Every structure is written in C-alpha cells, then in structure tokens.
Amino acid sequence: MKAISLFSCGGIGDLAVSHAGFDILVANELLEDRAEVFKHNHPSTQMIVGDICDKKLEILNATKNLLNGQKLDLVFATPPCQGMSKNGRGYLLNAMRKGVKSTIDPRNQLIIPTIEIFLQSGADTLVMENVPEMENTYIPNPDKDGEFIKILDFIKQSLSNAFVSSVQVIEFADYGVPQNRQRLLSIFTRNEKLKSHFKKYGSLFPNPTHSKDGVFLPKWRTLRDAISHLPKLNAGQFETSFDDSIEYHKVPLLDEEKYFWVSNTPQEKGAFDNQCINPTCKFDKNPTHSAGKDKDGINKSSTETPLYCVKCNSLLPRPWVKTGDEYRLMKGYTSAYKRMSWDVPAGTLTRNLSYACSDKKLHPEQHRTLSLHEAMILHTISDYSFDWKRADGKKVSDKLIRELIGESIPPAGLEKIFLHLTAILNGQIIEAKTEAKQFCLLDD
Ligand SMILES: C[S@@+](CC[C@H](N)C(=O)[O-])C[C@H]1O[C@@H](n2cnc3c(N)ncnc32)[C@H](O)[C@@H]1O
C-alpha cells in the first residue's frame, strides 16, 4: 500500500506506518535538521523540505510521478499542536471583536493545505494525529468570512459524504507503551472495506491491549518494567553521569545547588517538600508546598511554604533563589524537581525531559533526570532500528533528539493502530473480532 506523510519531523511516527506495510513515497517537513534525520531513516522516501503551503504542488507532483498510475491509499498528517489549546471559540470571538487578529495561531490553519493535498492526491484515507485539544480548536472558516469553525468540522465540510470519520482520544499506555501519552487520532476514509467495518463496529480503532487496573487486560507497563534494569547514573559528577557501554545512557550534570536539592529528595516526592537535614533536628513535619487558585482563578503556588525548618531554623534543601546573603523559596510549579514513580508508566515525555526544574522529570530514585537512552525505550523508539543520524553526515544534537521525541508519537502504539487498519483492508480482522467477542461473552 502506498502512503505519503505530511509534517513528518524526523520520521518517528512514520516507523509505525512503514512497519504496518505502507510504502511512504513522499514526505514533507519544514525544518532542515529534522528532515535530515528523516532522510537517513527513510532513504527510499522522497523528502520535500519546506513550508507545506509553498510545497503543495511539489508534493502532489512527486506523489503522482512515484505512483506511476497506481492508487494512493493513505495520507498520514501530524500537524503541529502548539497552537491548539488556546484557540477556543470564545477566545477567538473576543479577539476578533477587539480586532486582535494576531491571536489566531497560523499553525492551526495548516489543516487547510493538508486537506487540499489529501483531496487532490486521490487517496482514500486520511489519518491525522494531534493533541486532544484539537477536538475543540476553531479556525476562521475559509468558506464563510467572519465565522469560525472547529477543525474537525472543517475537515468534514471539505470532504464529501462518501467519507466516514472515526475519531478517538488514544491513551498510548493502553497499547503497551510504558508512557502515558494521550493523542487525538482521526481517521477519514472512503475505502469500502474500512467503511463497512466502521458501519458494523462503530470504530476503526483496535481494542486496547493493556489497562490501568490490569483486571481483564495486562496492566499498563511501568517505568520499573521498562528501565529499572539499566546501570545506575548520578548527575553529581561527570564520571558517574554516563555509562560507556550503552549509547545515550547519559544525563546532564546538575550544578551544586540543584544536586543538593535533588539528592535530598526521597522516592515519590518533590524537592519543594524536602525536610530538615540538620542531623540534630531531622524534623520531618515542615509544611509541604501546595498550589491553589487566586482570586482571578489562576493557579498559583503557595507563598507560605517555609524555606527554613520551623523547628531548628536550618535552611531546608528546597529549591531557592539566593540574592546576596538572602535566600527565598524559588517561585515555580509544585511539580518542578519532582520524582517520577516506579510503578506507573512515565508521564508524557516532552522536549524538556532533561530539565530537573520541569514538570516531574526526576528519576524515581537516582539523583538525575532520565537519560536519552531511557527516553528512547519509554517512547518505544528502541523497538525499531532507528539511527540518530542525519543524511548529510552532521551530528544529531541532544537538543534535536529531545525535540524529536517530545513532538512524536510512540511508534509501537501507533503501529497497532495502523496494523488494525491493514488487517481490515486485508480481510484478516474477522478472527480478531471473534476472539474479542468470546472474551466479552466469558466476561458476561
Ligand atoms: C507534531 S510534529 C510531527 C511529528 C512526527 N509525525 C513524528 O512522529 O516525529 C509537527 C511537525 O510539523 C512541522 N511543521 C510545522 N509547520 C510546518 C509547515 N508550515 N510546513 C511543513 N511542516 C511544518 C514541524 O517542524 C514539526 O516537525
């Protein structure tokens, strides 16, 4: 089966597409460094680098040439999601009333060239991935001046009623990924086999393979399952911050103060709650850090949290800011400098995964953040032969690795979704559904 990929980044999501049996003929990505990683890992795909709005014709022509008269089956599109959360309808209407057009994030309108390419490519199926907020994101309606339309409604309005849509928020931990990551997957199709499956079952998504409670399905895979076997690291000193035998099992060093806060943070806790370490006091009931809404409803962390032990007045190992000889508690989220838990999946990996000050980024017990190697396991990239190399031979920076992980979808979870589609297309799904039914009957 033939596919093209839009907003392809380094091609991590595309691992799932190609492993499920699609030949990705053409891909498009705005940024050169990301496209170089894509090219190295998908050498038989024609990568077109540049803004999709300028490259529309080039993408369509390259696809047509490579298809050589065959039919295109799939367009896989993963537009950027950074602008999705704030563009609610009320927010946009307010902004328009005030004449502030710049508040409309132009990235949300990349859906327009996406749909144009999909329709002109003649493909049967469009699979899109985005943040769950996309479901409630509005854009100016290109067909009605001065009006707004939800992105999903715009897509439906643009496609004829020969298409059906199956849209679902997917929790990737439900598909065996040791990471909680929720994404909105939307499938639009006019393929007769997929449509008839949808008519029968009401969904084009596979049943989960794992569950939070572990009652009827295996329990979510945890951090302990995925990374507890790895050699220990310590971000206090260069010599202990990496392991020579495993590529990318390395962490950035913590400076002296951060290391002091982190090394005094017990399992399951955050550094803002650290207790007295004065050996003659060791008081462990100092008030912990908290957050609450202020009079405008904005979430603010408490300003009452002590930085000095309420019993012996020693400085607590809590994140501080020092001005001259004076210390005050650092302002910040209560989840900063917080440890992850061993017995649940990792939280959503972001490009900040190496920053101790970011949201819940500390290793469950060692004094450090996650290594890049651990992030690759938790994101299931290590299940594939993916090289952190660029086609132009330049070095892939750690920053780029973090960005590519933070912006992509765990491929092993996504592969299960694409395999379900290919199983329907190849007529193999009956067996799987029969098993599911038997399972339900037993359950009843
Ligand atoms: C959410 S990421 C895609 C992740 C990718 N599917 C993966 O699994 O690695 C969105 C990508 O769209 C690219 N992008 C943003 N604006 C674009 C534009 N105007 N034209 C083409 N690509 C664009 C970004 O550089 C980014 O790499």
Atom of ligand 1 nearest to the CA of 79: 10
Atom of ligand 1 nearest to the CA of 404: 9
Of 76-90, 180-194, 331-345, where does mean pLDDT reach its minimum?
76-90
CA of 31 to the centre of ligand 1 (A): 8
pLDDT more than 70, % of the chain: 88
User: What integer pLDDT is reported at residue 432 of this predicted model?
Assistant: 47
What does the block give as tokens for 26?
């053409």
CA–CA dist 185, 182 (Å, integer): 9
CA–CA dist 126, 76 (Å, integer): 6
Confidence of residue 443 (pLDDT cuts 50, 70, 90): very low
CA of 381 to the centre of ligand 1 (A): 18
Residue 215 predicted with pLDDT over 60? yes
User: What integer pLDDT is reported at residue 262 of this predicted model?
Assistant: 98
CA of 75 to the centre of ligand 1 (A): 14
Residue 60 predicted with pLDDT over 50? yes
Domain ranges of the chain: 2-217+409-443, 231-370
The class of domain 2-217+409-443 in CATH terms is: alpha beta
Mutate which of 14, 18, 28, 30 for ligand 1 pocket (most atoms within 8 A of beta carbon): 30
Q: Whose CA is nearest to atom 11 of ligand 1?
A: 7
3-state SS of 234-247 is CCCCHHHCECCCCC
Confidence of residue 80 (pLDDT cuts 50, 70, 90): confident
In this prediction, residues 55-73 reach a mean pLDDT of: 97
C-alpha dihedral sign at 302, 252, 404, 33: positive
Residue 57 predicted with pLDDT over 70? yes
User: What integer pLDDT is reported at residue 69 of this predicted model?
Assistant: 96
In this prediction, residues 249-275 reach a mean pLDDT of: 97
Residue 136 predicted with pLDDT over 70? yes
Mutate which of 4, 6, 7, 81 for ligand 1 pocket (most atoms within 8 A of beta carbon): 7
Higher-pLDDT residue of 400, 359 = 400
The answer, yes or no, to whether any atom of ligand 1 lies below 6 A from the CB of 12, is yes
In this prediction, residues 259-280 reach a mean pLDDT of: 97
CA of 408 to the centre of ligand 1 (A): 9
Of 36-40, 303-307, 419-423, where does mean pLDDT reach its minimum?
303-307
Of 28-42, 106-120, 127-141, 428-442, where does mean pLDDT reach its minimum?
428-442
Task: Please give the full DSSP string across 166-226, using - where no structure is assigned.
Answer: EEEEEEGGGGT-SB--EEEEEEEE--HHHHHHHHHHS-SSPPPS-BSS-SSS-B---HHHH
What does the block give as tokens for 75?
């367009």
The per-residue pLDDT for range 140-183, each reduced to its tens digit, is 788 887 788 888 999 999 998 899 999 999 999 999 999 999 99
Collapse the DSSP code of 428 into the 3-class scheme (helix H, G, I; strand E, B; otherwise coil) and give the result.
coil
**Contact (CB, 8 A) for 406 and 400:** no
CA of 26 to the centre of ligand 1 (A): 14
In this prediction, residues 250-278 reach a mean pLDDT of: 97
The answer, yes or no, to whether any atom of ligand 1 lies below 6 A from the CB of 130, is no
User: What integer pLDDT is reported at residue 131 of this predicted model?
Assistant: 87
CA of 82 to the centre of ligand 1 (A): 11
pLDDT, averaged across the chain: 90
What does the block give as tokens for 115?
């749909």
Confidence of residue 438 (pLDDT cuts 50, 70, 90): very low
User: What integer pLDDT is reported at residue 429 of this predicted model?
Assistant: 72
CA of 80 to the centre of ligand 1 (A): 5
Confidence of residue 252 (pLDDT cuts 50, 70, 90): very high
Residue 440 predicted with pLDDT over 60? no
Confidence of residue 139 (pLDDT cuts 50, 70, 90): confident
The answer, yes or no, to whether any atom of ligand 1 lies below 6 A from the CB of 5, is no
Collapse the DSSP code of 141 into the 3-class scheme (helix H, G, I; strand E, B; otherwise coil) and give the result.
coil
Q: What backbone torsions phi and psi does residue 376 show, to the nearest 5 degrees? A: -65, -35
Q: Going edge to edge, which strands form the sheet with 74-77?
A: 46-49, 23-29, 2-6, 74-77, 125-130, 182-189, 164-171
Mutate which of 407, 409, 417 for ligand 1 pocket (most atoms within 8 A of beta carbon): 407
The per-residue pLDDT for range 379-435, each reduced to its tens digit, is 999 999 999 999 999 999 999 999 999 999 999 999 999 999 999 999 987 544 444
pTM of the entire predicted model: 0.91
Counting Cβ atoms within 10 Å, is residue 225 exposed (0-12), middle (13-18) or buried (19+)? middle
The answer, yes or no, to whether any atom of ligand 1 lies below 6 A from the CB of 52, is yes
Name the helix (H) or strand (E) containing 416.
helix 411-425
In this prediction, residues 196-216 reach a mean pLDDT of: 96
Q: What backbone torsions phi and psi does residue 412 show, to the nearest 5 degrees? A: -65, -35
